[in-house]
């Protein structure tokens, strides 16, 4: 590095001011530029006179990945410098501090844990959709905007699906922060987005209990033990943690990536729809697995070289979408409901890890005078829920991947669109009623959903019945 950073240094129009942070691998500086009014920071790697290969390569990785990211969950890049003069990355300055301060005050109230976890998962899902696996999730690498969105920083250990993995090419040792590293990272597998879900599960565990699930290991041999050791269940540490939240945490911390959540969106769905979670033995546990079970896992895992190789990041997300199926349960819509049922069955053949969210909308009265019961005196909401579950019988998914919601709104299309947006739905499947003059002028529910939904939409329409033009037919 030909130039070292210091206050007053000017480089490529950027002027360095106060040093804001000094870490083991980089320093952070407050900077200004005549062309930018946005508060900015400059990150400069700490390159010493000795061997700094990982630092140099990690910074190259960050310089490749960060400009390719966009959106509210990543800092905007303003400029970069190469190693010929002084390597740096300039980004917008996110007001406030990292999430580390929250974790220092853990355990946090359960409601706060759930809210923070959902917002962290949302940021993670955003970068995954941009084909990036972070691989170094920890409290220090989450910042929070004043508007509440989480921002992920520090991409030095990350992997972009469409870029060379320089770290894997040049180094053979596992890389990551030991308290949060996933078992497959120990085995030097760097292509699985579920590694980030494991780290996020460890962070939620810490927020909820005030403890790290595997302590603070300092050696790789200690990290290896999580291939067969399970953590103490959160509810054994803190009794007021709901069973459903423990179910989420321990599912994220499964050793085998295939048993974890398959996308951050699926984790968000559970965090925001706790009543839809099917509890397993994970949610009820109050102690670690017995010694015999641990010994059997040890015999299986001690010589494991790798888990099953995952597909690309984009393919992993494509295999595990959230599909929203809007079902009209009116008696006259039965043929259309059957067509929708057959279509979702076909879609699941190609997307075996998908979660299906079945919804039905009760159209409420505009004046607030809503009918709570049907003609037989049954509760309308309950009756619709039972009918929706009956419709879905035969969809071959476990209960945790097949959910049901009855929505209420004066505008059915708005209800579907809002529900899809709130639950990060990837695809909406719905039916369309037949053509009519009224629908042509006033618009249909399906047309509005197609026009306004932020995700893709498939509309099923039954073929029109042929018109009998035989002049000799007697009616």
Q: Which of 68, 92, 116 is the last residue of a domain?
A: 92
Q: How many CB atoms lie within 10 A of CB 187?
A: 16
Alpha carbons 404 and 278: distance in angstroms, whole number: 12
Distance CA 293, CA 295 (A): 5
Domain termination site, one of 292, 316, 340: 316
Same domain (yes/no): 67, 146: no
Query: Which of 60-64, 227-231, 288-292, 433-437 shows the lowest per-residue confidence on average (mean pLDDT)?
Result: 433-437
* Structure-token pair, residue 458: 């498939």
Q: What letter does residue 467 receive in the DSSP assignment?
A: P
Task: Cite the beta strand spans of 410-455 per DSSP E.
Answer: 427-431
Find tokens 């729809």 and name the residue: 273
**CB proximity list for 297: less than 8 A, separation 6 or greater:** 227, 228, 255, 289
Residues 6 or more apart whose CB falls under 8 angstroms from that of 201 comprise: 213, 248, 249, 250, 251, 252, 253, 260
Is 473 within the bounds of a domain?
Answer: no
Q: Tokens 């990536």 appear where?
A: 257
11 Cβ neighbours under 8 A, 6+ residues apart: 3, 81, 85, 86, 88
Mean of per-residue pLDDT scores for the chain: 89
Is the same domain home to 370 and 290? Answer: no
Is residue 43 scored above 90 in pLDDT? Answer: yes
Segment 440-454 shows an average pLDDT of 79
Mapping DSSP to helix (H, G, I), strand (E, B) and coil, where does residue 427 land? strand
User: Does 153 lie in the same domain as 273?
Assistant: yes
Q: Where are the alpha helices (DSSP H) in 190-322?
A: 194-209, 220-224, 234-237, 243-252, 264-272, 281-284, 291-301, 313-319
pLDDT score, position 361:
93
Decide if 300 is inside a domain: yes
Q: Is 472 within the bounds of a domain? A: no
What local confidence, expressed as pLDDT, does residue 133 receive? 97
Write out the H or E segment, with its range, that includes residue 451. helix 445-452
Question: HSE of 239 in the Cβ direction (CA atoms, 13 Å)?
Answer: 0
Q: Within this chain, do residues 81 and 228 fall inside the same structural domain, yes or no? A: no
Compute the distance between CA of residue 398 and CA of residue 388 in angstroms, rounded to an integer: 16
**Predicted local confidence at residue 363, as pLDDT:** 87
- What's the CA angle centered on 266, arms 213 and 232, to 5 degrees? 15
The CA–CA distances, whole Å, from 113 to 84, 109, 125, 264, 271 equal 45, 6, 18, 16, 10
Residue carrying structure tokens 């989450």: 142
Q: In terms of domains, do 133 and 193 share one?
A: yes
Mean pLDDT of 259-280: 94
271 shares its domain with 125: yes
Burial (0-12, 13-18, 19+ Cβ within 10 Å), 64: middle
CATH code at position 326: 3.40.50.620
What span, in angstroms and rounded, lies between the C-alpha atoms of 253 and 274?
Answer: 18
Percentage of the chain modeled with pLDDT above 70: 92
∠ Cα 439 441 444 (to 5°): 35
**pTM, full prediction:** 0.87
Average pLDDT over residues 344-370: 82
Give yes or no: residues 130 and 217 share one domain.
Answer: yes
Of the residues 28, 59, 92, the one at which a domain ends: 92
Token reading at 115: 């809210």
- The answer, yes or no, to whether the previous bond of 107 is cis (omega within 30 of 0) is yes
**pLDDT in the model for residue 441:** 42
Same domain? 191 vs 311: yes
SS3 42: strand
Query: Which of the given ranges, 237-246, 335-344, 460-469, has the highest pLDDT on average?
Result: 237-246
The verdict on residue 328 lying in a domain is yes
Domain CATH number, residue 291: 1.10.510.10
337 and 305 in one domain?
no
Q: Which residue has the higher pLDDT, 51 or 63?
A: 63
Q: In terms of domains, do 312 and 326 share one?
A: no
> CA–CA separation, 452 vs 422, rounded Å?
14
The total number of structural domains that make up the chain: 3
Model confidence over 150-194: pLDDT tens digits? Answer: 999 999 999 999 999 988 888 878 889 999 999 999 999 999 999
Closest CA to 362 of 374, 344, 375: 374
The boundaries of the domain holding residue 428 are 321-460
Tell me: do 327 and 311 sit in the same domain.
no
Check whether residue 135 and residue 157 sit in a common domain.
yes
> How far is CA 10 from each of CA 33, 47, 79, 157, rounded to the nearest angstrom?
9, 19, 13, 29
C-alpha to C-alpha distances, 76 to 44, 79, 90, nearest whole angstrom: 16, 10, 9
Q: Is residue 70 part of a domain?
A: yes
Task: For residue 49, give the 3-state DSSP assignment.
Answer: coil
Q: What CATH number does the domain containing 67 carry?
A: 3.30.200.20
């Amino acid at each position: 590095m030909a130039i070292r950073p210091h206050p007053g240094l000017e480089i490529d129009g950027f002027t360095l001011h106060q040093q804001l942070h000094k870490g083991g691998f980089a320093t952070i500086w407050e900077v200004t530029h005549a062309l930018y009014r946005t508060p900015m920071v400059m990150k400069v790697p700490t390159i010493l006179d000795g061997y700094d290969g990982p630092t140099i390569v990690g910074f190259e990785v960050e310089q490749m990945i960060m400009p390719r990211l966009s959106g509210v969950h990543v800092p905007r890049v303003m400029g970069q410098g190469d190693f010929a003069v002084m390597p740096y990355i300039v980004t917008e300055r996110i007001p406030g501090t990292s999430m580390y301060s929250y974790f220092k005050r853990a355990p946090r109230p359960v409601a706060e844990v759930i809210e923070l976890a959902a917002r962290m998962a949302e940021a993670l899902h955003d970068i995954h959709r941009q084909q990036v696996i972070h691989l170094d999730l920890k409290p220090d690498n989450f910042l929070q905007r004043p508007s509440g969105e989480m921002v992920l920083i520090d991409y030095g250990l990350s992997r972009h699906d469409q870029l060379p993995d320089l770290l894997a090419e040049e180094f053979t040792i596992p890389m990551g922060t030991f308290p949060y590293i996933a078992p497959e990272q120990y085995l030097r597998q760097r292509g699985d987005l579920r590694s980030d879900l494991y780290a996020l599960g460890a962070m939620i565990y810490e927020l909820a209990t005030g403890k790290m699930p595997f302590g603070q290991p300092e050696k790789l041999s200690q990290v290896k033990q999580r291939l067969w050791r399970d953590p103490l269940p959160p509810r054994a540490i803190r009794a007021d943690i709901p069973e459903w939240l423990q179910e989420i945490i321990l599912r994220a911390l499964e050793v085998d990536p295939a048993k974890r959540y398959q996308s951050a969106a699926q984790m968000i769905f559970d965090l925001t729809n706790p009543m839809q979670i099917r509890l397993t033995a994970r949610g009820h546990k109050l102690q670690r697995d017995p010694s015999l079970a641990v010994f059997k896992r040890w015999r299986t895992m001690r010589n494991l070289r790798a888990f099953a190789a995952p597909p690309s990041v984009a393919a992993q997300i494509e295999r595990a979408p959230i599909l929203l199926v809007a079902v009209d349960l009116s008696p006259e819509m039965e043929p259309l409901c059957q067509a929708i049922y057959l279509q979702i069955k076909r879609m699941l053949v190609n997307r075996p890890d998908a979660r299906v969210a079945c919804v039905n909308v009760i159209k409420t009265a505009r004046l607030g005078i809503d009918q709570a019961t049907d003609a037989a005196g049954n509760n309308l909401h309950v009756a619709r829920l039972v009918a929706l579950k009956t419709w879905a019988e035969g969809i071959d998914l476990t209960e945790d991947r097949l959910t049901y919601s009855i929505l209420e709104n004066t505008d059915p299309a708005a209800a579907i669109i809002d529900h899809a947006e709130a639950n990060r739905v990837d695809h909406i499947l719905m039916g369309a009623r037949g053509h009519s003059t009224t629908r042509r002028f006033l618009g249909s529910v399906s047309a509005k959903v197609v026009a306004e939904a932020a995700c893709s939409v498939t509309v099923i329409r039954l073929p029109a019945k042929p018109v009998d033009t035989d002049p000799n037919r007697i009616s």
